[in-house]
Amino acid sequence: MTLLIIGLISSFFLGAALASFVHCWAHRLYNGEGFKRRSYCPNCQHPISWFNNLPIFSYWRLKGHCAYCHQPIAKDYLISELIGGLLLASATAIVWFNLGGEANFWLAARTSHFWLTLIQALIGFILLMLVFWSDYWWMSIFVNPLLIGAVIVAGLNLLAGRTWQSLVGGILFGGLFFALQFWLSKGRWLGEGDIYLGLFLGSWLGWPLIIPVIFIAYVVGAIIGLVLLVVGLKRRQSQLPLGVFLAPSGWLVFLFGQSWWQAYLHWLGW
Ligand SMILES: [Zn+2]
């Protein structure tokens, strides 16, 4: 039980720190900046010391203001850090209960499969969060990180024992599904970035799990789009970027996809 609590707390802070990093990365990609320069206040440009740059804690201690110029810091920093922390902590809880407790955790931790899956989880977590925020703000600045990520997770997947057929099937389906729509609609239905997101998701989850990712994203996207239309927050012409739905859907399928797929096959009587 103690191990579970330690795991939950540390994964919460890891998630918050990664979210904070992703937030910074998204802004720097958008501005065409690299990581040479240290974190700085977007208002007064003053470099931020590590102590004033701790996720959640610093925001709380400085009451949401810059330590140097005292201008308010945008709330979405705090929101994304909290979301990141909660997502990783809940993933830890899910894995813990799926494994069935501490004894099984130690057994699993001795296998390379466990660590390969963990690395894949973190890569996916970072990239999907990057897609979520940047797609939400400006769209399609994440092509290179997704392509590099797709190659890395493909390698990790092969090491973890996934078949190359599953990998190639996932990549082809994920990429072509969106490329075809992009081509048919001349870019009106979706952005070019969705093609690369499809490639990455296919490489990360493989065939057949790429199917439920796309399916869930479209269904949830349609429902939310309809609700926004009804409550008048959105007009018929305006579109929500697809990546905002594909990213969380990909994370859900990474966590639950295998058991959902088994249940589906069982239901079909296979
Ligand atoms: Zn400042």
Q: Give the tens place of pLDDT for each residue, 54-106.
A: 888 888 888 889 988 988 888 888 888 999 999 999 999 998 888 888 888 88
| More confident site: 185 or 89 | 89
Half-sphere exposure of residue 173, counting CA atoms within 13 Å on the CB side?
Answer: 21
CA 82 to centroid of ligand 1, rounded, Å? 22
The answer to whether 105 touches 96, Cβ cutoff 8 Å, is yes
The answer on pLDDT for 111 being more than 70 is yes
Using the mean position of ligand 1's atoms as its centre, give its distance from the Cα of residue 136 in Å: 25
- The tens digit of pLDDT for each residue in 17-56 reads 999 888 888 888 887 777 777 888 888 888 888 888 888 8
49 CA to centre of ligand 1 in angstroms: 12
CA 67 / ligand 1 centre spacing (Å) = 7
This prediction has a pTM of 0.83
Instruction: Give, as one character, the DSSP assignment of residue 72.
Output: B
Predicted confidence at residue 222, as pLDDT, reads: 86
Centre of ligand 1 from the C-alpha of residue 15, in Å: 25
Q: How far is ligand 1, taken at its centre, from the CA of residue 47, in Å? A: 9
Helix, strand, or coil (residue 139): coil
Q: How far is the CA of 73 from the centre of ligand 1 (A)?
A: 8
Ligand 1 centroid – CA 43 distance (Å): 5
- Rounded Cα distance between 200 and 150, Å, is 5
Half-sphere exposure in the Cβ direction for 177 (13 Å, CA)? 20
- Residue 136 is predicted with a pLDDT of 66
How many whole angstroms from 50 Cα to the centroid of ligand 1? 15
Distance 123 CA to ligand 1 centre (A): 31
> Measured on CA atoms in the order 17, 22, 27, 28, is the torsion positive or negative?
positive
- CA neighbor of 135 nearest in space, from 90, 231, 200, 47: 200
Which residue pairs from 68-77 have beta carbons closer than 8 angstroms and sit at least 24 positions apart in sequence? 68/41, 68/44, 69/41, 69/43, 69/44, 71/41, 71/43, 71/44, 73/41, 76/23, 77/20, 77/23
Query: How many angstroms separate the Cα of 115 from the Cα of each of 74, 121, 145, 159?
Result: 36, 10, 22, 11
